[in-house]
Structure 1
């Protein structure tokens, strides 16, 4: 669309980044709203808003102001998704099945990305790039219709969101859940262990995926667009490893009787240390096949770590899972903004993207964060419920 309208790179970058501004600001409010009104309602509202915004986005990039507004709205609406999903899962899924449930639901984004890499270019070639906005918006409306049919309120709602009455300072109003313990959660190291590891995961993820075309072009001397199905391999590996991490975490708890904290820490450590090693192999790759292997391994091991940190908020705060996920996902969104920009500066500082020194430096920064985040998780993460007077299981 930008090419057809003759829009420069600066405007293109502003439009592309608009989504992340909306996505970042709605994470915590989305988690609070899902806790207050339920994930079923918030998911329906989210899909309706972002699908409508996508369908109504102008088809000409010359209307960049309207497109920016539309992309911000899509970001705001989609920022509610992950906290709402985690709220639903925390209310429906028993503790010993949560890692698998979180991994399965969140891994859908990787499978969807792999499918999009294969399908959407054909749609753009046949009907023009603006058709992608209509196609994705229509898919969102299709999902919304299905959700309205199969979606249900949480079981045993009174035990999940108990009615508290009382008089005096701090008492919740009758018919409403107790107040969210914001101060206690934000002070607790276990919450920050999740936040830091979400930042770490997304730093590595966003750096690799955003700089992947440049990496293939300048380091491997290959055009990513001409690699066919190979370019979907990292997403497919992430889908597989994300589910493997969830299964492994639950298996350690149910079959080997690991304490919850020990199981989460083990899966988290395996994932992030493996990702750190694979990241260091990327600059050393001497062929397309070795580059694809290193990239797929780095992203796959990072996805496996989600069986540790990404489910842990349900362990420590099942009643406030959406809120904690909103806080940590805000950090994850910020890491994308920071990591992608820092990588560009490091590459520029070391004679450009054609210099291996810049790639060693940039990917070392991501690898060190993986190791540092896992060490902090080992030290501070907990497995028992820390917030909320009652649990639903």
Structure 2
């Protein structure tokens, strides 16, 4: 009897054009490091410090003015002295940032203005006051403080340009400058509380210590370029374009021949005028005109700056999304114009409303919409020329501070002669004008060659 044949064992057949590949170990993937967000967080904190050191005098003025016999008009001169120094050094500050990088330049600036902040508390008893008088000495110290702080925002723009890709720079600069809102918001109530308990001089000393500490932190943790930072891996570097070394020569002729540059400067001058109404006079307006006491005035005066904190990065995100979907020119113009026009409308309403709390609400949202447009302005300078982002933004911010130099002095003068509704109405009209000027701004074309 024969056994049945055993079934044949055939080798496994692979599908046509497929080859079996051994896969014993899955290949690991390395995620990009996130040091760019550390840099942005540090810029946000520096922004907070700048506005603590800038805005503390608007609170301490309440005790400084009677102590030294300073009038409203003289205090306006002191406010304007800061803005004059701030305006004059914007372009040199931007050039320094382009030339030497954000790490070195911002560290030096923090040290400089922190020393000036401390000196504000003691200058009236110094030899300088004997030479030029108390008002003159305060004007000179505030002017020097302005020179130091002028470096900050153009350096922010240089850092964001180096550390963020093109599609995220509006949001990046919006977050960085949004620290203005937090710094201004916390300065008013905290400075008022410190002043009531320990005297106005202590406000300046504490502000100075914060600045010195921030300068040390920035030096230790920040670098000017991603490839210089030891914590940045290759994957994160691959996300960012490495910019070749910036030429020392500034193409001034090209700037002069590009109309968008000058329309940006003019429009941003309008924003600067309005912003300095809030920075210089809003707290005193609430206390002296709307009838709030010192501490409650400090709390309510922080609301416009909290609105800035929220609206500034929001506007940066919106302008980036609009630019990605509709082109640079449309994306920047829609965000910039919307913010400025709505700011003007709300400021005008706040000036006319009798209810103090409704007025604060309108004026606060007016400040928020004003800063909604910030990302569009600053990203436009980078759109025009990445290589010269620092100096272009410094040039633009010079315009803002020309407006800001006029505002602290003109605002009380208008209020004295025609009342605060007229004074704030002028600011509202200037905001709307700044918004309409976006019809002339075309960053998508770049610099004229």
1:252 to partner: Cα distance: 2.5
| Aligned pairs for 1:327-346 within 5 A | 327-346=395-414
The C-alpha deviation readout for 1:114-139, integer Å capped at 9, x for no partner, is 11112222222333211122111110
The answer to whether the aligner puts 1:43 opposite 2:106 as a matched pair is yes
Instruction: Give the match for residue 293 of structure 1.
Output: 361
Cα displacement (A) at 1:58: 5.1
Query: Aligned pair 1:89/2:156, yes or no?
Result: no
Partner residue, 1:123: 194
Unaligned stretches of 5+ residues in structure 2: 1-62, 229-240
Which residue of structure 2 lines up, in the alignment, with residue 141 of structure 1?
Answer: 212
In the alignment, which of 362, 368, 386 is matched to residue 447 of structure 2? 386
Asked if structure 2 preserves the Cα contact closer than 8 Å seen for 1:2 and 1:12, the reply is no
Is the contact made by 2:332 and 2:377 (CA closer than 8 Å) also made in structure 1?
A: yes
The alignment partner of 1:383 has SS state of: helix
How much does 1:191 deviate?
0.7
Aligned CA distance change for structure 1 residues 119 and 207 (closer, same or farther; 3 Å): closer
Distance 1:185 1:133 in 2: 39
Matched, 1:6 2:6: no
- Pair member with larger Rg: 2
Output one character per residue of 1:173-204: Cα deviation in whole Å (capped at 9) or x when no partner. xxx72521112113311111221221111112
Match of 1:324 in 2: 392
Q: Quick one: structure 1 residues 376 and 93, their matched pair in 2 at CA, closer, same or farther if it must change by over 3 Å?
A: same
- Deviation larger for 41-50 or 283-292: 283-292
Deviates more, 1:99-108 or 1:298-307: 298-307
* CA deviation map 1:32-88 (0-9, x unaligned): 111111121110110111112333445263433554443322211111111111111
Summarize the Cα distance change of 1:212–1:260 in structure 2 as closer, same or farther, 3 Å threshold.
Answer: same
Contact 1:47 1:140 in 2 (8 A): yes
Q: TM-score, normalised by structure 2?
A: 0.75
- Report the CA distance between 1:301 and its aligned residue: 0.8
- Structural mapping, 1:8-157, within 5 Å: 8-9=70-71, 12-57=75-120, 59=122, 61-63=124-126, 64=129, 65=132, 67-155=138-226
Q: Distance in 1 between matches of 2:286 and 2:196?
A: 23
- Which string of whole-angstrom CA distances, capped at 9 and with x for unpartnered residues, describes residues 87-124 of structure 1? 11112211100011000000101101111112222222
Contact 2:333 2:376 in 1 (8 A): yes
Q: CA RMSD in A?
A: 2.6
Which deviates more, 219-228 or 86-95?
Answer: 219-228
Q: Given that residues 304 and 368 in structure 2 are in contact (C-alpha distance below 8 angstroms), is that contact kept between their aligned partners in structure 1?
A: yes
Say if 2:343 and 2:368, in contact at 8 Å, map to a contact too.
Answer: yes
Q: In structure 1, how many angstroms separate the alpha carbons of the residues matched to 2:70 and 2:185?
A: 28
